[in-house]
Structure 1
Amino acid sequence: MRFMVITKATADSEAGVLPGTEDFGRRGRRHRRRPAAAGMAFGPEAGLALLDQLMAFPALRNYHLLPSARGDFLARLGRHAEARAEFERAASLTRNERERTLLLDRAAACVP
């Protein structure tokens, strides 16, 4: 599945440069979805790069969906040991039992 993220054009966006994270805090939750969009449009490396930038924000450091998304991108890149660790971290952060079970199942499925 592909989808489009529409923003105001800039010289960088016209040149194909991915947007940075400087305005993540200002614009809120929709920017947490940007790494997933970049990962679908430009590959898992692009999504992983944006997720790594998001991890620097203290308010998002313990947000369970970030390590879950990192685990997904890492698994797609074949980095299974790292993916397993991220899924386990996400499972430890969630308070939802069904999510925890799903994340631990995904961690267990990460075998080289």
Structure 2
Amino acid sequence: MSCLVIPDGCVGLPTLAAMEQGIPVIAVRENKNRMQNCLEDYPFQPGKLFIVDNYLETVGVMNALKAGVSVESIRRPLADTRCVRSSDQNKQAQQTVTEEAPKVVRLHSK
């Protein structure tokens, strides 16, 4: 499993290389530093930037990524379940494929 764990706001060559190669980046707010970069402004691929409060959440994100579980699917509150009729399933499947993942996954409240 490949991912990069960084202090929030820290941008350097490893962060830029991970962004370029599509490697997930986990920014930890608990790790204070002097850099003031806003990571959300950088062109990360959708679902490749995770912002967490602490290292315990970091381990949770890493385990979810390793297991192939969508981080959005384990974050509370869970989205409502949508029921569709069988005749609508093809249409629903086409819509699901075209929907884009969120660019930044926040695991904390602002």
TM-score, normalised with respect to structure 2: 0.27
Give the structure with the higher percent strand.
2
Larger Rg: 2
TM-score, normalised with respect to structure 1: 0.27
Greater relative contact order (CA < 8 Å, ≥ 6 in sequence): 2
Give the structure with the higher percent helix.
1
